[in-house]
Amino acid sequence: MIRNTRPEDSARLADAVYDKLKNDIFDFRLLPGSALSENELAARAGVSRTPVREALLRLAREGFVERRAKSGWSVRALDFEHFEHLYDLRVILELAALGKLCAGDRGTALDDLKAVWLVPPGERRSDWIEVAQLDEAFHATLVRAAGNPELARIHEDITERIRIIRRLDFTQAERIARTYDEHAAILRAVLARKASQASLLLRSHIEESKLEVRKISLHRLHSAHRSASGAAPG
């Protein structure tokens, strides 16, 4: 699974609890819809309610848990319509970034991407966890290179929120190959400053992922998780 732990989170207990909870949700150790209580979480983590509470408040604001006044917290159910809206937002934001990238100066911001995605087929990565990370990095780098930190931040937030299902897109080898092909095509178009072509490619690239997501039922989520954690436990 893709970990979200950041190094600076070691000091504060609240951040440690936050990471733990988030990973538990992402790995389906905490199932969508299940109830959480501050006391139970605190006991389980061996801390007091205070840091647990702070972690829950953060997770609530990010949309992963819900606060039900005076009657506990719950893991938010996966709402696929919701994810589709987020994918549409990705299209909006990334197309805007692309427009700026093709129009303005972008320095060496895209050089790293070339080294990853414009490689001969033999050098492509095949581990799906790694590809999922590279995929996120590809899109994040494009957006960051547009030079608007706020745009990048919001894009990151959205990435974070769809990660829970987006990862599963790469459990099929065929999807990995397509991702490589499409990223390469997009990157070449951007480097050649072919704005409209790059836009078309990027839009259909994201729309494809969105369609894949639509196919993913809750059941498939579970089985995908089981096989994944069986192959790569921890």
Partner DNA sequence: GTATACTACCTTGTATACGAGCGGCCCGGA
Partner DNA sequence: TCCGGGCCGCTCGTATACAAGGTAGTATAC
By the criterion CB under 8 A, which residues form the site for a copy of itself? 11, 54, 57-58, 61, 69, 82, 85-86, 88-89, 92-93, 96, 148-151, 154, 158
Q: How many residues bind DNA (CB under 7 A)?
A: 22
40 touches, from a copy of itself, DNA, none (C-beta below 5 to 8 Å by class): DNA
What are the φ/ψ torsions at residue 74 (nearest 5 degrees)?
Answer: -145, 150
User: Cβ closer to DNA: 54 or 84?
Assistant: 54
**Cβ distance to DNA smaller for residue 37 or 217:** 37
Q: Are 147 and 96 in contact (CB under 8 A)?
A: no
149 binds, among DNA, a copy of itself, none (CB under 5 to 8 A by kind): a copy of itself
d(CA 79, CA 57): 20
Helices and strands counted in the chain (H then E): 10, 3
| Cα four-point dihedral sign 117, 123, 128, 133 | negative
Which of 30, 51, 143, 184 is close enough to bind DNA by CB under 7 A? Answer: 51
Residue 129 · residue 2 · CB < 8 Å: yes
Rounded Cα gap, residues 16 and 94, in angstroms:
32
Which residues, 2 to 41, sit near DNA by CB under 7 A? 12-14, 36-40
Contact flag: residue 219 with DNA (CB under 7 A):
no
Comparison of 11 and 115: residue with beta carbon closer to a copy of itself: 11
CB 94 within 8 A of CB 107: no
CB count in 10 Å sphere of residue 46: 8
Contact with DNA (CB under 7 A) among 73, 128, 170, 180: 73
> Which of residues 36 and 131 has its CB atom nearest to a copy of itself in the complex?
36
Q: Smallest gap, in angstroms, from Cβ of residue 233 to a copy of itself?
A: 34
Give the one entry of DNA, a copy of itself, none that residue 38 binds, where binding means its C-beta sits below a cut-off of 5 to 8 angstroms depending on kind. DNA
Which of the listed partners (a copy of itself, DNA, none) does 61 bind, with a CB threshold of 5 to 8 Å by partner kind? a copy of itself
Residues between 116 and 155 with contacts to DNA, criterion CB under 7 A: none
Task: Give me the DSSP letters along 79-141.
Answer: -HHHHHHHHHHHHHHHHHHHHHHHHS--TTTTHHHHHHHSS-GGG----HHHHHHHHHHHHHH
First-to-last alpha carbon distance for the chain, in angstroms, is: 8
Name the binder of 48 from DNA, a copy of itself, none, CB < 5-8 A by kind.
DNA
